[in-house]
Structure 1
């Protein structure tokens, strides 16, 4: 799902929004960001790593008793006694012989009762003793799960010498529905990935796979009324068979709501489609009414359809399971809470056997008792939780590899009838999260997020676990509303807080990160997983290099003895435009590592320039009321690039504000702001706001009257003493994100420099004289600047030079006084004499700053 539903009363226009500049093509009629009101809190991951003493079983069994003093030798193989003759194809991980240890497998209510097996589907017992191995399931699925536990035992370290400890397991699932919904936007999984995942579901006792990829045209508009073409139909047949082998319910979902007509013709179209799918082997069906507008949202028509299908199709077939539905109001954020709301209509009129999906308080949110109580009281049944994690269709430049948490461990099947995870379009990389979801849904009260994650890493990359763990622990956060903890074992700092021991520890971590791509290439045996991760691994390794070099650079900076060496190494460690584009496309380390690098480089640049100028530089900082206002994301509104933008990542509310810290009290005479991600039919902006300034951050003075529906804001006036400038939201119905492309205070103009310039680009040449090292001016041929009276020297701060740069000094008659050739990014230019009135730089260079000094 990673769902965002459109409400006409909440927005106008059609928007497709992604973090920063990543845009996701989406079907029209609803906005990808207007409904996302998550609180940006990064909550720590609960739990701790446990020593399992060589026995690794996932999901965690409810009851496990081990006698380590006695071991069963299985080196000679096992003799199978399959009483129901159902499991011969499920035991390929074993060596079956005519002589050896006895393996007995049985199931059924009668035998299960004798063994104390819980009377629910999927329950089983296992005993290992001198008589051999005995597995008893409540049903066939339970016995299959016992086999999966045996399989994991044999794969555990304790069985390395073909010895199994005597033990007793009495185990069962807490929830009747546990699994995965392929319900994301974007590229659907390949057939091979789906087949691989189905085997994964079976191994870890998940029993549900909902097939509902939004970009499958035969699942949704425009072709939901049509049968699948031959190849796709054959693939679905194979998926159904794979699910049967793994005792997984293959639930085929249809998404007809965007263009459904509430008439007999479309009802028959739906029945026909279900019959075609039935002929392909499907016995479980779902109907999704999410992310739609228009006629299809009518809850009375929806329930009428679902109830009729239950009678005409489900009951008539006899072997079809009760339906599952995703309502249009699938989140508390926009659901009508009244007795007239669609959820209450579901509760009053929907067949009680039909399961109803729910995503929680917002689209991506934690599973809590409170949200379940809210929904269950309205639909009059335990809701079916659709958890939008680790889905990334709203942040496709991320790949989420962190622990599974945010799922309450006090819930029971009386509160929630099931939980399905909506994963990423990267199916193999989603397995780490699904390993944790399988663990939680089976044994809720004993779920331990950290320990489950640690075990999952070992399961997926047994020969590259340390490298995968390093990548995963730094690839967890979303930078968006549904925040995830990341880098929790790593301590970062600002340059002003330098501690040598902490710096060395962090440098060691960056050195570790540098090696991860090569170690994963060498040790990761799952090549499909490696292929999905590779673009992120590449950028992750680069992050390690620049982080390490930032610490080495800081040591030079702190010594303060060698300006030239510092600057030369500084520019070498800057991210180029290409570097940044590559990183933005495949981000990791966004919570601590990349911010450390960015902040360290910015802090050093600020301090270095301050020393050269003898005054506070004008590299302003973004500030605001949002949770991410103190992060490096605010730099996107200060980068002189109107195609990038800072975005709040959560919905706006009254009193929110976005602004700039000028670092010092200054005379403010001009402000220019570009709101939103664009200036045409955008929704992510303050449509009712006021522009204010303050010297102390406490007392604010309005600079302009209230602004209504203005993307572009310009103010000029008499000088006002201020350190802070902000745009503050006033009363409004808008709940969208807030975005700003550009926030300029006292933008520098050539005519205000106090000296003359000759350049190829008069509008941008000021970046070489703006006392800000985050900007630069690109010289293609020549730059000439007048020498103000009293200037004795210049310090030229440039990027790496591709060829030597000529520096020429002229007197007032235009006569050449001297000429110098330079090849270093740092150059101290001493004027030849007092008669020099003009300096020309000839060649190609990117100039960060030209600093004039009186001596």
Structure 2
């Protein structure tokens, strides 16, 4: 509810209610909606209206539906009529993440393919939705919702689907590195629908639970709005931190031609956190957490420091490398102290980022030890690093400790650099 004002500020005009794990949406779809639920949706719509946001509601019957049974069309329509009675005019019918084969014997007898069954059912529901109100719209999430749009399912399904229906698509992947105009054109040519994009960013569920998606949206082409029906962003369950990326998505959507990812990201921090000292400390943490499906530099500042330190120790300057590492580590520890302070102005951000903050602190402490190792290393006649067996043991222990925590921060460069340092010291002991 409190997100609606932010969404409006970011320029969003739709909120799609489709919580996958809620029983009403996916598992108990044949039952009429309760008066309590309808009351809560009414409250949501009233608040949304104040912020110029339209609420859409989706139902996902695909796990148990019998596509040829008119009673299962009516079961959906019972709910849609209830929702229509409180003012909903935009609906969704979701067939995502379901078995890829027909389950009902009646469906097997009636349909030649699952694509045929799906298009038959969606068109049947749409016929009733139109009868209910000519102003109604219906968006379909297909069983195959990502790919090249040349696959058999999506092409056959899309061609058989009423052209008035919106067809949801996430791009090449479930969480796509990029969305571009050429793929949108292929989708339109093969499905007879322009894509309604469901962008799975900044969401960080399933295999991405150890990532914190707080970077700006990138990899979405200029002019994509001219080849799509619309765009939905899927946030993390960390609501407060999701606002950072969502703000940049709003900037992109309103001006794809002029969008500047880094400028939009910096602006989002200024918009969402007024205290400049707190913002500077948290910014440093966030810039170590850019790893995501977008495949951008996961830790630009830390990575640049590692590259510079590595160059120094490889060119006979381990003491300077140690100082650089120590300075960065001390800054990290200072950042943590600011964020953990009782006066920190964004305690919700601290709570939502706690496990990343914990590892950030662990890396800062560990790199003070790495700085000491570098500062104690000698240099050979040909400028190679010279260390001790004790240094190797310390580095091995640091790597083991940091790698025991699966939280993703700093990308792969952190462990790769430590491994490289260990290899150089090991080589010096055998030279």
Give the Cα separation in 1 of the matches to 2:11 and 2:386. Answer: 63
Give the Cα separation in 1 of the matches to 2:337 and 2:131. Answer: 56
Superposed, 1:513-592 pairs within 5 Å as: 513-522=332-341, 524-558=344-378, 563=388, 566=391, 570=394, 574=398, 580-581=403-404, 583-584=405-406, 586-592=407-413
1:380 corresponding residue in structure 2: 192
Note closer, same or farther for the CA distance 1:574–1:502 as it changes in structure 2 (3 Å cut). closer
Asked if 1 retains the 8 angstrom alpha-carbon contact of 2:81 and 2:132, the reply is no
Asked if 1 retains the 8 angstrom alpha-carbon contact of 2:322 and 2:374, the reply is no
Tell me how far 1:606 sits from its aligned partner. Answer: 2.5
2:61 corresponding residue in structure 1: 256
2:126 corresponding residue in structure 1: 310
1:283 corresponding residue in structure 2: 89
Note closer, same or farther for the CA distance 1:412–1:284 as it changes in structure 2 (3 Å cut). closer
Give the Cα separation in 1 of the matches to 2:34 and 2:337. Answer: 42
Tell me how far 1:605 sits from its aligned partner. Answer: 5.8
Q: Residue 589 of structure 1 aligns to a residue in which SS?
A: coil
1:471 alignment partner, one of 285, 304, 307: 285
2:218 alignment partner, one of 405, 413, 416: 405
The question of 1:484 aligning with 2:296 is answered: yes
Tell me how far 1:267 sits from its aligned partner. Answer: 1.1
Q: Residue 219 of structure 1 aligns to a residue in which SS?
A: helix
Give the Cα separation in 2 of the matches to 1:197 and 1:497. Answer: 52
Tell me how far 1:206 sits from its aligned partner. Answer: 0.3
The question of 1:444 aligning with 2:260 is answered: no
Tell me how far 1:230 sits from its aligned partner. Answer: 5.7
Asked if 1 retains the 8 angstrom alpha-carbon contact of 2:322 and 2:375, the reply is no
Q: TM-score, normalised by structure 2?
A: 0.84
Give the Cα separation in 2 of the matches to 1:606 and 1:537. Answer: 32
Superposed, 1:333-352 pairs within 5 Å as: 333=148, 336-337=150-151, 341-352=152-163
Asked if 2 retains the 8 angstrom alpha-carbon contact of 1:355 and 1:384, the reply is yes
1:41 corresponding residue in structure 2: none
2:2 corresponding residue in structure 1: 196
Q: TM-score, normalised by structure 1?
A: 0.44
Tell me how far 1:289 sits from its aligned partner. Answer: 1.4
1:207 corresponding residue in structure 2: 13
Give the Cα separation in 1 of the matches to 2:153 and 2:340. Answer: 51
Listed one character per residue, the Cα deviations across residues 775-811 of structure 1 (whole Å, up to 9, x for unaligned) are xxxxxxxxxxxxxxxxxxxxxxxxxxxxxxxxxxxxx
Listed one character per residue, the Cα deviations across residues 239-292 of structure 1 (whole Å, up to 9, x for unaligned) are 222222211121111111122102011111111122233345433211111222
- Point out where structure 2 has 5 or more consecutive residues left out of the alignment: 104-112, 380-384
Note closer, same or farther for the CA distance 1:558–1:218 as it changes in structure 2 (3 Å cut). farther
Larger Rg: 1
Listed one character per residue, the Cα deviations across residues 381-424 of structure 1 (whole Å, up to 9, x for unaligned) are 321112122221121011112221001113342x1121212222
Note closer, same or farther for the CA distance 1:231–1:531 as it changes in structure 2 (3 Å cut). farther
Give the Cα separation in 1 of the matches to 2:335 and 2:85. Answer: 48
Note closer, same or farther for the CA distance 1:556–1:384 as it changes in structure 2 (3 Å cut). same
Give the Cα separation in 1 of the matches to 2:351 and 2:291. Answer: 21
Give the Cα separation in 2 of the matches to 1:236 and 1:282. Answer: 9
1:356 corresponding residue in structure 2: 167
Superposed, 1:661-740 pairs within 5 Å as: none
Note closer, same or farther for the CA distance 1:575–1:310 as it changes in structure 2 (3 Å cut). same
Asked if 2 retains the 8 angstrom alpha-carbon contact of 1:550 and 1:573, the reply is no
The question of 1:295 aligning with 2:109 is answered: no
Listed one character per residue, the Cα deviations across residues 334-362 of structure 1 (whole Å, up to 9, x for unaligned) are x554xxx3433444343333211112222
Give aligned pairs, total.
403
1:418 corresponding residue in structure 2: 230
Listed one character per residue, the Cα deviations across residues 46-71 of structure 1 (whole Å, up to 9, x for unaligned) are xxxxxxxxxxxxxxxxxxxxxxxxxx
1:112 corresponding residue in structure 2: none
Q: Residue 223 of structure 1 aligns to a residue in which SS?
A: coil
Tell me how far 1:203 sits from its aligned partner. Answer: 1.4
Tell me how far 1:472 sits from its aligned partner. Answer: 1.4
- Point out where structure 1 has 5 or more consecutive residues left out of the alignment: 1-194, 616-855
Asked if 2 retains the 8 angstrom alpha-carbon contact of 1:491 and 1:502, the reply is no
